Chains A and B, each alone.
Chain A
Amino acid sequence: MISKDARSLLDYLKALLNDVRIKPDIPTDMIDDEDFLCLDKTIKSVREAALELGKGNLSYSIEGKGYVLGSLKALQSSLRNLTWKTKAIAAGDFSQSVHFLGDFSDSFNSMTKQLAVSIQEIKEAQEHFEMVFNTIPDATIITNFEDGSLVAYNQAFIETTKFSVAELNQNPVTIIDLYLNIEERKMLLEKLKKDGYIENAEISFLGRSGEILTGLISSRLIFMKEVPHILSVIRDITELKEIEKKLQKSEELHRLLADNAADVIWTMNLDGKFSYISPSVKKLRGFSVEEVLAQSQEEVLCPGSLIHLQQGLERAIHSVQNNQPFQVFRGELEQPCKDGSTVWTEATVSGIYSEDGRFIGMLGVTRDISERKIMEEEILRLSITDKLTQSYNRLKLDETLEQQFERAKTEAIPFSIIILDIDHFKLVNDTYGHQVGDRVLIELVAALTENVRSDDIVGRWGGEEFLIILPETNLSDGLHVAEKLRDVVETYRFTTAGQVTISLGVSAYRDDLTPESIVSRADAALYQAKENGRNRVEFLE
Chain B
Amino acid sequence: MERKYAFSWDLLGDIAEGRPYLGNATRIEVYRLMQFTFKDIIEQHVGWEKTNEIFYQAGKLAGQEFYQNMIDKTDDFNNFINQLQTVLKELGMGIFRVEEADMEKGELTLTVAEDLDCSGLPETGYEICTYDEGFIAALLEGFSGIPFVVKETDCWCTGDRTCRFSAKATNEGN
Q: How far is the CA of A65 from the CA of B161 in the complex (A)?
A: 10
B98 contacts partner chain A, Cβ-Cβ < 8 Å = yes
Residues of chain A within 8 A (CB-CB) of B161 are 70-71, 73-74
> Which 3 residue pairs of A and B lie closest in terms of their CB atoms, listed nearest first?
A70-B160, A80-B99, A74-B161
On whether A65 and B159 interact (CB within 8 A), knowing A84-B98, A88-B78, the answer reads: yes
Which stretch in A93-101, A218-226, A398-406, A455-463 binds the other chain? A93-101
A284 to chain B, nearest CB (A): 89
Interface set of B (CB-CB < 8 Å, partner A): 78-79, 82, 95, 97-101, 109, 111, 113, 123, 125, 154, 156, 158-162, 164
Q: How far is the CA of A327 from the CA of B96 in the complex (A)?
A: 93
Residues of chain B within 8 A (CB-CB) of A93 are 78-79
A66 contacts partner chain B, Cβ-Cβ < 8 Å = yes
Assess whether B113 is in contact with A74, with CB atoms less than 8 Å apart. Answer: yes
Q: How far is the CA of A77 from the CA of B112 in the complex (A)?
A: 10
Assess whether B162 is in contact with A74, with CB atoms less than 8 Å apart. Answer: yes
Q: How far is the CA of A91 from the CA of B123 in the complex (A)?
A: 40
Q: How far is the CA of A71 from the CA of B156 in the complex (A)?
A: 10
Q: How far is the CA of A70 from the CA of B162 in the complex (A)?
A: 8
A69 contacts partner chain B, Cβ-Cβ < 8 Å = yes
Instruction: Number of A interface residues at 8 Å Cβ cutoff, please give it.
Output: 21
Residues of chain B within 8 A (CB-CB) of A70 are 154, 156, 159-161
A56 to chain B, nearest CB (A): 15
Chain A residue, CB-CB nearest to B95: A100
On whether A81 and B78 interact (CB within 8 A), knowing A65-B159, A70-B160, A73-B161, the answer reads: no
On whether A81 and B164 interact (CB within 8 A), knowing A70-B159, A95-B78, the answer reads: no
Q: How far is the CA of A41 from the CA of B11 in the complex (A)?
A: 50
A151 to chain B, nearest CB (A): 29
Q: How far is the CA of A83 from the CA of B125 in the complex (A)?
A: 30
Assess whether A81 is in contact with B160, with CB atoms less than 8 Å apart. Answer: no
Assess whether A84 is in contact with B154, with CB atoms less than 8 Å apart. Answer: no
Assess whether A96 is in contact with B99, with CB atoms less than 8 Å apart. Answer: no
Residues of chain B within 8 A (CB-CB) of A96 are 78, 82
Assess whether B100 is in contact with A74, with CB atoms less than 8 Å apart. Answer: no
Assess whether B158 is in contact with A65, with CB atoms less than 8 Å apart. Answer: yes
Residues of chain B within 8 A (CB-CB) of A84 are 97-101
Chain A residue, CB-CB nearest to B125: A65
28 CB contacts below 8 A, A to B, read: A65-B123, A65-B125, A65-B154, A65-B159, A65-B160, A69-B160, A70-B154, A70-B159, A70-B160, A70-B161, A71-B161, A73-B154, A73-B161, A73-B164, A74-B160, A74-B161, A77-B113, A77-B162, A77-B164, A80-B99, A80-B100, A81-B97, A84-B97, A84-B98, A84-B99, A84-B100, A91-B78, A95-B79
Assess whether A77 is in contact with B159, with CB atoms less than 8 Å apart. Answer: no
B125 to chain A, nearest CB (A): 8
Contact of A73 among B78, B98, B123, B160 (CB under 8 A): B160
Residues of chain A within 8 A (CB-CB) of B113 are 74, 77, 100
